[in-house]
Amino acid sequence: MARKVAIDVEHAQGGRLLYNFLVADEDNAKEVWEASEGYGVLGIVLKDYPSLDQAMEICLKIKELTGMVSIGLGGGDSSQWRRVVDLALRLNPGHLNQVFPAVGYTIGALETRGIAQDNVVNALISPSGTPGIVVVSTGPVSEKASEPARVPVDTAIKMVSDVGGKSIKLFPIGGTKKLPEVIAVAKSTKEAGLPVLEPTGGITPDNVGELLEACLEFGPPLIIPHVHSSVIDPATGRTIPELVRRVVLAGKRCLGIA
C-alpha cells in the first residue's frame, strides 16, 4: 500500500480516525497494515523487549512499511518511560506513548535532536471516577504517592500544551464503562485546541463503535483508539487481521462512509 500513515487528519480515515494496533513481527505488521487499509498506527510495547536493540529491529521494519512506528510503554507501565525516550532518539518513530510527568522532558529531548516536529507525544492521564477530573500522577514515583494528583481535565490539558504536547491519552477507560469521563476529556481536549485524543483500555471490535461515536461528536479533530488485547490471539501474540477489519469497518459506519 503506497500511502504512508502520519499522525494528522490528512492521512486519517474520513479525516478523523486512525487506529493504534500492536504487531508481533514483520509479517504480522504487513497483514495488519493491509487489514487497516492504511489507517493503522502500528507499534510495539517496550516492556516486551529486554533490550533496545531488539525493539529497534522490529521498529525499523514497521517504520519501513508504514512510514512511522508507535513506541508504547505496555499497559501504561511507567517504568518504561525513559526507555521510550532513548529509543525515540535513535529511531525518530513518529508516535510516542508517555506518562504525563515525562512529556516535557520527552519533547525537550526530541527538540535537541531536531525531530520534535516529526513526532506526536501523548500524555497519559487516568480517569478519576468523576467526569471532568483526571489523575495526572502517572509516573513511576508519582503513581506511588499516598494521594493521587487529581486535577480538572482542562488544567491537565493546558499543562500538556505548556510543553508542546499535542495529544491526550486516557487510560484505562474500560471500553465504554467510563464513557461519561471519556466525553468530558474529549470536550476539554477540543475546547483547548489540542488536536489529538487517544482513548485506551478495554476497547474491542464490539464496543469501539459506541466509543467512536461519542469521541467524534465531542472530541478534537483526530481520534486514535488503541485496540490491543481484544484483537490479539493470546496463543500466538499476533494481532488478528479479521478483527482489525471489524474495527476499521466500525469506524467507517460511525463516519457514514461504510
Which three three-digit cell numbers place residue 20?
Answer: 493504534
| Long-range CB contacts (within 8 A, 24+) of 150-154 | 153/125, 153/184, 153/185, 153/188, 154/188, 154/191, 154/192
Phi, psi angle pair for 65, to nearest 5°: -75, -45
Share the mean pLDDT of the chain: 97
Question: For position 135, what pLDDT does the model report?
Answer: 98
Contact 55, 82 (CB under 8 A): no
Indicate yes or no: pTM above 0.85: yes
Quick one: which of 1, 44, 39, 32 has its CA closest to 18? 39
Q: What distance in Å separates the CA atoms of residue 42 and residue 21, rounded to the nearest whole number?
A: 5
Q: What is the mean pLDDT of residues 47-52?
A: 96
pLDDT digits (tens, 9 = 90+) for 170-212: 999 999 999 999 999 999 999 999 999 999 999 999 999 999 9
Residue-range domains of the chain with CATH:
9-255 (3.20.20.70)
Per 3-state DSSP, what percentage of the chain is helix, strand, and coil (rounded to 5)?
A: 45, 20, 35
- Flag whether pLDDT at 1 surpasses 90: no
Q: What is the mean pLDDT of residues 148-177?
A: 97
Which three three-digit cell numbers place residue 244?
Answer: 482489525
C-alpha distances (whole Å) from 109 to each of 74, 88, 133 are 21, 9, 29
Q: What confidence tier does 3 reach under pLDDT thresholds 50, 70, 90? A: low
Question: What's the angle, vertex CA 238, arms to CA 237 and CA 241, rounded to 5?
Answer: 150
- Flag whether pLDDT at 151 surpasses 90: yes
Question: For position 4, what pLDDT does the model report?
Answer: 72
Question: What's the angle, vertex CA 32, arms to CA 93 and CA 195, rounded to 5?
Answer: 50
Q: What distance in Å separates the CA atoms of residue 240 and residue 232, rounded to the nearest whole number?
A: 6
206-242 in b/e form (b: 16+ CB < 10 A) is ebbbebbebbbebbbbbbbbbbbebbbeeeeebbbbe
